Structure 1
Amino acid sequence: MKKNKILIVEDETNIADSVKLNLEAEGYEVEYTTDGQMGLHYARTLNPDLIILDIMLPKLDGFEVNKIIQKELSIPVIFLTAKSDEISTVLGLELGADDYISKPFSMRELISRVKAVLRRLENTKSHSISSQINNNPQKGKFIYDDIEIDIDGRRVLRNGNLIHLKPKEFEILVYLSSNQGMAISRDTLLDKIWGIDYFGDKRTVDVHLRWLRKKIELDSQKPKHLITVRNVGYRFD
């Protein structure tokens, strides 16, 4: 059975060594580096299944590293943040982190987060989209006015023009559009898209919807399709 490969980018070597040792004991293949530039190099060359990424790094900070990773590779990231650093947490979510954990942390909690993110990754690949295809009489394609969602090809077009979506954005759009007209709560979106074992912040739903609106809507301030339902969540019209 293939081992999941994890990259740690952390400049505090005592933390990196400890995390590496504990993850290897769980059966993962682990590499680590201590600065952002090498972290980016390792991400490109090793193509890991998951990256544990500190924010305060020499040479290139974690935010910049993650921004490039998400643009080029779309690898799941768990951010390591300073305790109670809400600004870093929110910015990390804005930049597409799958989860975050505050220092100091227990190894048990970190390992649980790692397992949860990797499990969500597998579930997303195998279940979420396929279930929508099987239940969709249009055989993998939704068409709503100017929006065409090609599930089989994992493509979205607006007025015939291709829109580039990240995996989570695509999953959210498919789920909302397949439940057209229904108000879907943030908790439901977290369960269906991120998985029932998601530990992170509910604000990640709002962040992803904000990105999605900017790509899908002609005017993201006056959305036509992705509608906010106050005190509930979102609806696709």
Structure 2
Amino acid sequence: MANGGGAASAGGAASAQAPVAVLLVEDDEVIRKSVTMALERYGYAVTAVADGMTGLERAREGGHDLLLLDVMLPELDGISLTRGVREVSLVPILMMSARGDALDVVTGLEAGADDYVVKPVDVPVLVARIRSLLRRASFTPDAVPAAEPAADHAAERLRFGDLTLDTASLEVFRGGERIELSPTELRLLLEFAAHPGIVLDRQTLLRNVWDYGWDGDSRVVDLCVQRLRRKIGAERIETVRGFGYKLRR
């Protein structure tokens, strides 16, 4: 379950306890109503708002499993909204916009979004993207106070220099202090940790971390690696020019 979210079902349909809660932030009334109706037919519980400030307030209140937002919004644009949410929550964020060139996609992902789709988007594709994000978010534990991993499952801890990855609780520590990773960053680190010292090319990372063939610019991998480096240490992930990246032992 995503940090700050409700009881999400990885399948994207209503669970036995509660349906997946989606916060939709879209200023176009026609799109807002059509997306709401479409997602509700798939079993999602949708809260829809029309401007970025209201969206930020609702997102910070919590209770949602995923945020679906437009980039061009009144009051507060989608990029600023995403940054504001990332200050308090790791809830999965899916951006949708009519602007789909590489720079727009990179800007959205750099702000903290987990995925980006270009309008118009077919409903089955949108639902598939949501399902993929929810599957990845299920790997993210709720936030807990910083502490060293318990000593009774030392075999489940991987160490790379001053970096410790607890594969049981999916917590990451650097120099003994717990650090927060987004769902995508955590998946990326897990992929590197499963192949320490081995060079992984971008296509392999796209397939194993993002769950599907990326239909845009593969620089999304470079961007996520940069964000991960800032958190775990730039020296921990090595660039092998012309091939890809590897995690230093």
3-state SS of 1:165 partner: coil
Once residues 200 and 119 of structure 1 are traced to their aligned partners in structure 2, the CA distance between those partners, rounded to angstroms, is 21
Tell me if 1:144 matches 2:155. Answer: no
Please say if 1:185 is aligned against 2:201: yes
Counterpart for residue 235 of structure 1: 246
**Counterparts of 2:164 and 2:111 in 1: how far apart (Å)?**
26
Alignment: residue pair count: 221
Backbone CA RMSD of aligned residues = 2.5
- Measured at CA, do residues 162 and 120 of structure 1 come closer, stay the same or move farther in structure 2, by a change above 3 Å? closer
CA contact (8 A) 1:83 1:104 kept: no
CA distance in 2, matches of 1:86, 1:49: 27
Paired with 1:104 and 1:88, the residues of 2 have a C-alpha distance of 16
User: In 1, distance between residues paired with 2:181 and 2:126?
Assistant: 29
Partner residue in 2 for 1:116:
132
* Residue in structure 2 matching 1:163, options 179, 193, 211: 179
Decide which structure has greater helix share: 1
- Cα deviation 1:48-98 (Å, max 9, x = unaligned): 111111111111111111112122111111111224443321100112212
Give the alignment of 1:1-237 within 5 angstroms.
Answer: 1=16, 2-122=18-138, 124=139, 139-196=155-212, 201-217=217-233, 220=234, 223=235, 225-237=236-248
| Structure 2: gaps (5+ residues) | 1-15, 142-152
Report the TM-score, using the length of structure 2 for normalisation. 0.78
From the superposition, tell whether residues 150 and 107 of structure 1 become closer, same or farther in structure 2 (CA, over 3 Å): closer
**Deviates most, 144-153 or 96-105:** 144-153
Letter in 2 for 1:9: V
1:191 Cα deviation after fit: 2.9
Give how far 1:181 is off: 1.1
Q: Secondary structure at the match of 1:11?
A: coil
**Structure number with higher relative contact order (C-alpha < 8 Å, ≥ 6 residues apart):** 2
Aligned identity (percent) is 35
String of CA shifts for 1:158-205, please: whole Å, max 9, x gaps: 333443333332332233133111111222223332324766653322
Q: TM (normalized to structure 1)? A: 0.82
Look up the SS of the partner of 1:65 in the other structure.
Answer: helix
Q: Secondary structure at the match of 1:184?
A: coil
Partner of 1:130: none
Q: Structure 1 125/196 Cα, relative in aligned 2: closer, same or farther at 3 Å?
A: farther
Whether the 8 Å contact between 2:237 and 2:245 is mirrored in structure 1 is: yes
